[in-house]
Chain A
Amino acid sequence: MRAEARYTPYHPRWYRRRVSVWWWLQNRAYAGFVLRELTSVFVAFFAGVTLWQLRTLAQGPDAYARFLACLGTPLFVALHAVAFLFVLFHSITWFNLAPTAVVVRLSGKRVPDWVVVGLNYAAWLVLSGAVALIVLRGR
């Protein structure tokens, strides 16, 4: 069938709807999906902040102090607050989808989803705790 079938008495004109640019606002699931994808923007944002931190660290204590002062401004605090929410959303959706993407089979049987999810969350807690300890130890 040609894509543009012209109408003839013996072949119907098919109706094709064009997908709107706002397709993702149609229902909650689609909107949630786009929000999930946008978390990557905040991931990139914080990777950038970390690069900035490393650069000012290399430049010396004055530059680093200015970096810290900048992070203390209301704009950056707000940005980081939003970034925190988005990054949290990324983590939660990532872990919840992990068992769908990676199927582990032990002696022929599939490891149940809740085990995979649970292990991910456990690793998250342990690593977060370790990082907090290491970073906050040096005052």
Chain B
Amino acid sequence: MEPAVTLMVTRYRPEQESEPTLATYEVPYRKDWVVLDALNYIKDTLDGSLSFRWSCRMGVCGSCGMKVNGSPKLTCASFLSDSLPGPIRVEPLDYFPVVRDLVVDMSDFMRKLKKVKPWIIRHDERPLAEGEYLQTPDQLDAYKQFSMCINCMLCYSACPIYGLEPSFIGPAAIALAQRYNMDSRDEGAPERLEILSEHDGIWQCTFVGECTKVCPKHVDPAGAIQQYKLTGAIHWLKSLLLPRGAR
């Protein structure tokens, strides 16, 4: 008799129910299996109607974010062996509308990413003939950590502020803004500051710190936000104390 582990998975079929329910599945236990493998086993052999997102199964695409035993995780990076003896609860990410089963709607997240202007902004572009923009390893080091984000939304799911105030721009968007602000080739920091100093920008954050804890790529969005608060505050002081012209 093969060892097995129980999975309790959220099912939500809007065409037949108005609220999600928990369905129980017995899945064979393999010590090298992750939760994603178990979900695929369910879909392949037990219940083909189970819906969930996944892609690379190796922690680089950011598609398979779900709540495993209450914590936002990448299911391709959560080993069954870590949750023994089970049962293992698999639920959709918090604070996003649930479309079906384990699938959540991402449009708010995508809109917020775009809002921070995540591209190199320059006053004038250098012509191609002048060659590439050079960057030292130290200059790269200044923003590299923030560039590692895989847009998995675990940080939004861990942030209680986002849950309480859905208009909050959120950790990943701010970290993304910092990735460009700290890039030596970029000149768009003032533009992004205007956007992020708005009511639903950085100032809503109360440094809970959960976003950094759940990030699978160690981006440290909480750090990005606090550093940006300091930058924003210093900029505020400068604009107050120095004549308007000096920017």
Give chain A residues whose Cβ lies under 8 Å from the Cβ of B136. Answer: 108
Residue of B nearest to A23 (CB): B160
Give bound CA distance, A77 to B210, whole Å.
35
Complex Cα gap A1–B105 (Å):
11
A103 within 8 Å of B (CB atoms): yes
Contact in complex: B213, A29 (CB < 8 Å): yes
> Interface-forming stretch among A6-14, A52-60, A65-73, A124-132?
A6-14
Closest to A109 in B: B138
Nearest-neighbour CB distance to chain A for B203, whole angstroms, equals 14
A30 at the interface (CB under 8 A from B): yes
Q: Is A30 touching B160 in the complex (CB atoms < 8 A)?
A: yes
CB pair B160 A7 closer than 8 Å: no
The reply to whether A16 and B97 form a contact with Cβ atoms under 8 Å apart is yes
Candidate in A26, A27, A101, A102 with the most chain B CB atoms within 10 angstroms: A101
B interface, over-half SS: mixed
In the complex, B168 has a CB within 8 A of chain A: no
Number of interface residues of A (CB under 8 A): 26
Q: In the complex the two chains form, is B207's CB within 8 Å of A97's CB?
A: yes
Chain B residues in 8 Å Cβ range of A15: 12, 14, 19-20, 97-98
Which among A13, A30, A108, A110 has the highest number of chain B CB atoms within 10 Å? A13
Q: Which residue of B lies closest to A18 (CB)?
A: B163
Contact with A12, one of B100, B107, B163 (Cβ below 8 angstroms)? B100
Q: Is the CB of A101 within 8 A of B18?
A: no
Interface residues as binary, B48-77 with A (CB distance below 8 Å gives 1, 0 otherwise): 000000000000000000000011000000
Across the interface, do A33 and B208 meet the contact criterion of CB distance under 8 Å?
yes
Q: Is B130 an interface residue (CB 8 A)?
A: no
Among candidates A19, A27, A100, residue contacting B226 with C-beta atoms closer than 8 Å: A100
Distance of A16 Cα from B98 Cα, bound (Å) = 6
Cβ contact within 8 Å between B230 and A13:
no
Binary flags per residue of B133-148, CB closer than 8 Å to A gives 1, else 0: 0001010011000000
Q: How many angstroms between the C-alpha atoms of A101 and B94 in the bound complex?
A: 27
Residue of B97, B210, B227 with most chain A CB atoms under a 10 A cut-off: B97
The answer for the CA separation of A15 and B209 in the assembled complex, in Å, is: 27
- A contact set with B: CB distance below 8 Å: 1, 7, 12-17, 19, 23-24, 26-27, 29-30, 33, 37, 97, 100-103, 105, 108-110
Q: Could you write out 18 A-B pairs with CB less than 8 Å apart?
A: A1-B105, A12-B15, A12-B100, A14-B105, A15-B14, A15-B19, A15-B98, A19-B160, A23-B164, A24-B160, A27-B71, A29-B209, A30-B208, A101-B207, A101-B223, A101-B226, A101-B227, A110-B141
Chain A to chain B: the 3 pairs with minimum beta-carbon distance, closest first: A101-B226, A14-B97, A108-B138
